[in-house]
Amino acid sequence: MSMRTPTTNQYNLSLLNLQNVQAQIAQNTQRLTSGNQITSPGDDPAGSASILDFQNSIQANTQFLQQASTANNLLQSAADAFTGAIDGANNLQVLAQQALSTPSTGATSMSSLAAQVGAIQNNLLSLANTQYQGVYVFAGAQTTTQPFTNSGLTYNNGTASGPSDYLNLYVSPTSKVTTNIPGDQAFGTGTGSDLFKAVNDLYNGLTANSQAAVQTASTELTSALNNLYQQQAVVGGRQAGLADLQSSISAINLSLQSAQSGLQTTNIAQTYTNLTSEQTAQQAILSTMAKTNTNNLFNYLT
């Protein structure tokens, strides 16, 4: 009786092919289930490294966008305060012109105008102490210290290097934006145009029924208004630049996310086609192995 069997190499080769196909089936099944093309770093080391780089860049840009949002909110708080201060200063100028336009304005009328100045004065103080999430917008580096007091409406200087400081936030690896206008610059207290001195001078001139003092205060208000308009424009310019930068970073993030998705997200149609092909190959290998075993047994019996 003769005995003919498949060689060991042939059997091992078929078994190896079967294992490889089954591994591919398992991998593509996981890709379809998870939605991820790369299910472990070993699947594609280079692709995995690229995905990690994309993730790190996206996270960094997202942090910069959050910084930019905070910066914009601080600037918007300052912009709103300047709008209110400009309205108040214009109203004070109207009152000053009323007092100056009628030579016969008496003490009673002057007193009535002074009361209106007092109300506007209180509102200006509130605007100068504007806060955003507990931060005094015009307090320089001393963000938790109220920058203006009602003691003569003078600037609370604190330390010489504090309230005048600029606050910066990085909004890209190499770019930063100044988020504040220091109070002494915003309202000109202490040097140059001085809004609160103008307010006090107007109030005192009206109370004293002195048109000369009111005229001096009116001139001071004009200078203070010019400064407010200038600082408002500075804030607006920073906001415009910030908006452009936010748009650029957002566009970059979209591109990075698209590239990351291209590497990471499973191509459903292609993966399903591959899976079907691999399942067919598996059946063919199993069928071949079964026939080989049957032939081997037949040869053994004969």
* Helix H or strand E segment including 13: helix 8-34
Q: Which residue(s) pair with 138 in the sheet?
A: none
Q: 94 near 120, Cβ under 8 Å? A: no
Query: How far is residue 115's CA from residue 186's CA, in Å, rounded to a whole number?
Result: 25
Query: How far is residue 22's CA from residue 28's CA, in Å, rounded to a whole number?
Result: 10
pLDDT at 160: 33
Per-residue pLDDT 10s for the chain (302 aa) are 444 454 556 667 777 777 777 777 777 677 677 777 776 666 678 777 887 888 899 999 999 999 999 999 999 999 999 999 999 999 999 999 999 886 555 656 888 899 999 999 999 999 999 999 999 999 888 888 888 877 544 444 433 334 557 888 888 888 888 888 888 888 875 445 588 889 989 999 999 999 999 999 999 999 999 999 999 999 999 999 999 989 999 999 999 888 877 777 666 777 677 767 777 777 777 777 666 665 554 454 44
What domains can you pick out in the chain, each with its CATH number? 57-260 (1.20.1330.10)
Residue with tokens 């030579």: 103
Specify the pTM. 0.72
pLDDT at 153: 41
* Residue 293: other Cβ atoms inside 10 A: 13
Residue with tokens 């291209």: 262
pLDDT at 46: 79
Structure tokens at 106: 């008496």
Question: What three-state secondary structure class fits 2?
Answer: coil
Q: What's the start-to-end Cα distance of the chain, in Å? A: 7
Report DSSP state, residue 149: -
